[in-house]
């Protein structure tokens, strides 16, 4: 059969002939279909491969991002009531790449609307340099949404993890700082660095945000009134060793991550080492009672107004102190010569051991590394004499609070701590029962009687007891006229719960300050003497008046 068909078209003088072959058409079509099919299969394989590679890259990016985030992650730190003191949060930084800007005038106009307080002359200069720069770090959610709505491809965003401190300056010396590599470099951020990186749970401290705030506010106020170089305060539970507040001024905002080299920012409570003066007289009498050498009623007759020890003269700070005093009266009236006689009766070796047992001479173990080392000295007869009234012996405020806690709590050794423990620790008894029973009432009389040196701390309803200490600051070759004024308080003295100490570093008198006598006898204008009784005691009284109700409400303390 002939498959060919013949077509003849006539157009005047031209003739066109066309022949169609079915076999040729089918072969050509099959080839085209096959080639198309091959390309289609190749494209599918290539697409699958690209998708796989893309997903692998995305997975790797996600994994790397998770690794980076995990490296930056640190556990949150909270106070005893769950308030955040340190947190790791996700934040977004915004940058601009000038080389990708299409319309710089329009971009600047939009940015000015969202961020009106920026320095746009500086931003214009950065845009002209054509170099990538950060425009806004830790942008708010609201502004982030606005800036991304602009749809400008020159605007870049980067998510980061950052450490924030909601309380700013409030716990700066306790929490401490981290560096740019997320490593703790001071405070609890340093000593708990490993735990903070590995622990997913919050780390709870013993401090109370509200109490810390009130104490700090009063310290700032009185730093201005008495023009101090700085100050420190600590509030500690005498039975558990838990520190409810630890404030050192001046302080700093942890969020700024400033490299602080000024020594005035030292942690005055734990790191600063000072001579505290007459607060040591409490330990002298306590040692005498502990060794059963003296009783509060023991009489000291014909006490000299001054005695010579080596080349130095030891004298009373107040010439009006009687020559005949009981051991109790020596402490109440803060007698120097009487304290020397008590220490001499105890003896050098026993007195030294007693101070060591209270943790006053050697460095103390604590939760942060910023701990001062008392200046070593050689014991001798004159050193025994001067140490009895707190002259020529140094320690830290932390150690002072620890020692007063032991004196007040029945003679049980404690471990001062900032970290909340899950279980109670049984404390070892290191002093006999008589010490606290006999010392606490005397400390109360120092505050409650007219012969005492701390009547301005006699806050109604809180049974405050304590001991004042006024000391000259030491300099090379001797002592200056500048003062360290300290008041170590215990309350309530009939059943002690807290030791609260305030130290003012180089305070000055204030001729305009008004003292309101707590016995209701009237007012007094101007600071008559630059002593603890007129400075630190006043601060403690004002603070206890404010924190007492909180302690009573939160911790069910009844006074």
Q: Please say whether the beta carbons of 294 and 281 come within 8 A.
A: no
- What is the edge-to-edge ordering of all strands in the sheet holding 498-505? 243-249, 230-237, 498-505, 478-491, 465-475
pLDDT for 340 equals: 97
Whether residue 223 lies inside any domain: the answer is yes
**Segment 370-401, tens digit of pLDDT:** 999 999 999 999 999 999 999 999 999 999 99
pLDDT for 48 equals: 66
pLDDT of 27 above 80: no
Last residue of a domain, one of 14, 44, 72: 72
Expressed in percent and rounded to 5, the helix, strand and coil fractions of the chain are 40, 20, 40
Which residues, 6 or more positions from 448, have their beta carbon under 8 angstroms from its beta carbon? 455, 458, 465
CA distance 207 to 547: 13
pLDDT for 227 equals: 98
Q: How confident is the model at residue 36 (pLDDT cuts 50, 70, 90)?
A: low
pLDDT for 482 equals: 95
What is the CB-side half-sphere exposure of residue 247 using CA atoms within 13 A? Answer: 30
Q: Which two tokens stand for residue 331?
A: 């402490």
pLDDT for 29 equals: 56
Q: Please say whether the beta carbons of 400 and 372 come within 8 A.
A: no
CA distance 447 to 338: 20
**Segment 280-316, tens digit of pLDDT:** 999 999 999 999 999 999 999 999 999 998 888 999 9
Residues 456 and 525 in one domain: yes
Q: Is the peptide bond before 250 cis (omega within 30 degrees of 0)?
A: yes
Residues 311 and 410 in one domain: yes
Q: Is 476 exposed, middle or buried (0-12, 13-18, 19+ CB in 10 A)?
A: exposed
**Segment 113-127, tens digit of pLDDT:** 999 999 999 999 999
**14 forms bridges with which residues in the sheet?**
11
Last residue of a domain, one of 72, 97, 130: 72
Q: How confident is the model at residue 423 (pLDDT cuts 50, 70, 90)?
A: confident
pLDDT for 47 equals: 64
pLDDT of 254 above 90: yes
Number of domains in the chain: 3
Q: Is 279 exposed, middle or buried (0-12, 13-18, 19+ CB in 10 A)?
A: buried
Mean of pLDDT values over 343-367: 97
Q: How confident is the model at residue 365 (pLDDT cuts 50, 70, 90)?
A: very high
Residues 327 and 466 in one domain: yes
Mean pLDDT of the chain: 89
**15 forms bridges with which residues in the sheet?**
10
**11 forms bridges with which residues in the sheet?**
14
pLDDT for 349 equals: 97
Residues 243 and 379 in one domain: yes
Whether residue 202 lies inside any domain: the answer is no
Residues 61 and 97 in one domain: no
Residues 20 and 149 in one domain: no
Whether residue 244 lies inside any domain: the answer is yes
Q: Is 394 exposed, middle or buried (0-12, 13-18, 19+ CB in 10 A)?
A: buried
Mean of pLDDT values over 331-349: 97
Residues 447 and 501 in one domain: yes
CA distance 97 to 105: 15
**Segment 217-231, tens digit of pLDDT:** 999 999 999 999 999
* Gyration radius (Cα) of the chain, Å: 38
Residues 93 and 55 in one domain: no
Which residues, 6 or more positions from 405, have their beta carbon under 8 angstroms from its beta carbon? 236, 238, 241, 414, 416, 499
Question: Quick one: which of 503, 520, 521, 524 has its CA closest to 512?
Answer: 524
Mean of pLDDT values over 189-208: 92
Helical (H) or strand (E) element with 63:
helix 22-72
**281 forms bridges with which residues in the sheet?**
none
Least confident of 133-142, 168-177, 342-351, 501-510: 133-142
pLDDT for 13 equals: 46
CA distance 468 to 276: 9
DSSP-derived letter for residue 169 is T
pLDDT of 15 above 70: no
The CATH number of whichever domain residue 387 belongs to comes to 3.40.710.10
Sequence-ordered alpha helix ranges (H) in 366-498: 381-387, 397-408, 434-448
Size (the chain), residues: 559
Residues 394 and 441 in one domain: yes
Mean of pLDDT values over 82-92: 91
Residues 134 and 250 in one domain: no
Secondary structure class of 329 (helix, strand, coil): helix
CA 331 from chain center: how many Å? 35
| DSSP codes, 252-310 | --GGG------GGGS-TTTT--B--GGGGHHHHHHHHHHTTS--TT-EE-S--SEEEET
The CATH number of whichever domain residue 93 belongs to comes to 3.90.1310.10
At CA 322, angle to CA 318 and CA 326, rounded to 5?
115
In terms of pLDDT, which residue wins out, 318 or 402?
402
Which residues, 6 or more positions from 142, have their beta carbon under 8 angstroms from its beta carbon? none
pLDDT for 91 equals: 83
Q: Please say whether the beta carbons of 231 and 503 come within 8 A.
A: yes
pLDDT of 10 above 90: no
Last residue of a domain, one of 27, 47, 72: 72
Residues 25 and 167 in one domain: no
Whether residue 463 lies inside any domain: the answer is yes
Q: What percent of the chain has pLDDT over 90?
A: 75
CA distance 389 to 284: 8
Whether residue 200 lies inside any domain: the answer is no
Q: How far apart are the first and last CA of the chain?
A: 126
Whether residue 189 lies inside any domain: the answer is no
Whether residue 177 lies inside any domain: the answer is no
Mean of pLDDT values over 508-516: 97
Residues 137 and 222 in one domain: no
Mean of pLDDT values over 29-45: 68
**Segment 47-84, tens digit of pLDDT:** 665 555 555 544 444 444 444 445 557 999 999 999 99
Could you tell me the CA-to-CA distances from 73 to 79, 88, 90, 164, 438 in Å, in that order?
Answer: 19, 6, 10, 12, 52
Which residues, 6 or more positions from 114, have their beta carbon under 8 angstroms from its beta carbon? 143, 146, 147
Q: Which residue segment(s) compose the domain that 45 sits in?
A: 5-72
pLDDT for 476 equals: 79
Whether residue 123 lies inside any domain: the answer is yes
**Do the strands 478-491 and 523-525 form a parallel or antiparallel pair, or are they unpaired?**
unpaired
Could you tell me the CA-to-CA distances from 11 to 5, 6, 7, 15, 20 in Å, in that order?
Answer: 20, 17, 13, 6, 21
pLDDT of 253 above 80: yes
């Amino acid at each position: 059969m002939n498959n060919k068909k013949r077509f003849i078209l006539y157009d005047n003088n031209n003739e066109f002939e066309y022949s169609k072959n079915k076999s040729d058409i089918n072969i050509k079509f099959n080839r085209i279909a096959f080639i198309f099919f091959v390309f289609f299969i190749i494209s599918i394989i290539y697409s699958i491969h690209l998708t796989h590679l893309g997903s692998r890259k995305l997975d790797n990016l996600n994994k790397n991002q998770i690794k980076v985030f995990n490296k930056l992650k640190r556990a949150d730190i909270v106070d005893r009531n769950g308030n955040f003191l340190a947190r790791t949060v996700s934040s977004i930084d915004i940058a601009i790449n000038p080389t990708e800007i299409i319309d710089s005038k329009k971009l600047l106009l939009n940015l000015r609307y969202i961020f009106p307080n920026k320095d746009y002359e500086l931003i214009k200069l950065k845009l002209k340099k054509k170099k990538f720069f950060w425009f806004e770090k830790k942008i708010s959610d609201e502004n982030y949404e606005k800036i991304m709505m602009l749809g400008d491809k020159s605007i870049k965003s980067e998510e980061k993890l950052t450490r924030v401190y909601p309380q700013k300056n409030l716990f700066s010396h306790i929490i401490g700082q981290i560096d740019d590599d997320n490593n703790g470099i001071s405070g609890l951020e340093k000593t708990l660095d490993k735990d903070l990186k590995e622990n997913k749970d919050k780390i709870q401290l013993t401090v109370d945000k509200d109490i810390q705030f009130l104490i700090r506010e009063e310290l700032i106020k009185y730093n201005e009134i008495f023009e101090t170089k700085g100050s420190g305060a600590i509030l500690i539970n005498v039975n558990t060793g838990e520190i409810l507040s630890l404030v050192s001024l001046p302080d700093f905002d942890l969020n700024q991550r400033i490299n602080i080299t000024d020594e005035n920012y030292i942690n005055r409570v734990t790191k600063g080492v000072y001579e505290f003066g007459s607060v040591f007289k409490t330990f002298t009498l306590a040692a005498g009672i502990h060794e059963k050498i003296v009783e509060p009623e023991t009489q000291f007759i014909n006490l000299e107004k001054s005695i010579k020890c080596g080349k130095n003269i030891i004298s009373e700070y107040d010439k009006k102190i009687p020559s005949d005093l009981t051991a109790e009266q020596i402490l109440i009236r803060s007698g120097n010569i009487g304290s020397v006689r008590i220490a001499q009766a105890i003896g050098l070796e026993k007195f030294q051991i007693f101070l060591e047992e209270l943790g006053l001479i050697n460095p103390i173990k604590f939760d942060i590394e910023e701990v001062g080392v008392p200046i070593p000295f050689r014991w001798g007869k004159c050193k025994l004499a001067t140490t009895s009234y707190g002259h020529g012996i140094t320690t830290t405020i932390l150690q002072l609070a620890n020692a007063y806690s032991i004196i007040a709590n029945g003679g049980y050794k404690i471990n001062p701590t900032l970290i909340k423990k899950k279980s109670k620790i049984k404390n070892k008894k290191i002093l006999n029962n008589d010490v606290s029973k006999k010392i606490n009432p005397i400390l109360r009389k120092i505050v409650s009687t007219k012969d005492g040196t701390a009547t301005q701390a006699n806050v109604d309803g809180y049974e405050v007891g304590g001991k004042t200490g006024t000391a000259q600051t030491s300099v090379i070759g001797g002592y200056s006229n500048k003062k360290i004024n300290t008041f170590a308080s215990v309350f309530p003295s009939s059943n002690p719960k807290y030791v609260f100490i305030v130290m003012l570093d180089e305070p000055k008198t204030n001729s305009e300050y008004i003292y309101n006598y707590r016995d209701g006898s009237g007012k007094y204008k101007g600071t008559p003497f630059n002593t603890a009784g007129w400075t630190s005691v006043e601060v403690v009284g004002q603070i206890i008046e404010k924190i007492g109700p909180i302690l009573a409400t939160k911790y069910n303390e009844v006074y």
